[in-house]
Amino acid sequence: MKKLILFLAFAACLFEGSAQNVVYDYVIVEYSPFARRIEIEMFPSPMEVFLLKDLVGKENDRDRAFFIAKIRSLEEQGWELFEAQLATPGEMSSSMFYVWTLRKPKQ
């Protein structure tokens, strides 16, 4: 009986360990309000660049809506938000940008 219990415990540990070995694909979405630019990197595909001034007009009040629409589109394709950051290139820089990393299990 002890051997059976030990075997089941060992098998459960192996199953638990193998279930955690999920490999993901990643997408990085950068949105720069200052430059009015969105970049989407989906490796190994080429980067997509959206110049918001050309797409949504002179006013930048619709830029965020375009950015969120792109995120929603990716979520509809099965991507999940993995990490979101607000980044600045340097301490004294006034330009900031948002970096969203999304992932989904590799197929």
pTM: 0.71
Domain boundaries, the chain: 23-105
**DSSP of 52-71:** HHHHH-S-GGGHHHHHHHHH
pLDDT of 26? 94
pLDDT of 27? 96
Give the whole-angstrom CA distance, residue 23 versus residue 70: 24
pLDDT in tens, the chain (107 residues): 454 444 455 556 555 555 568 899 999 999 988 888 999 999 888 999 998 887 766 666 788 888 889 999 999 999 999 999 988 877 656 678 899 999 999 88
Amino acid in the structure at residue 10: F
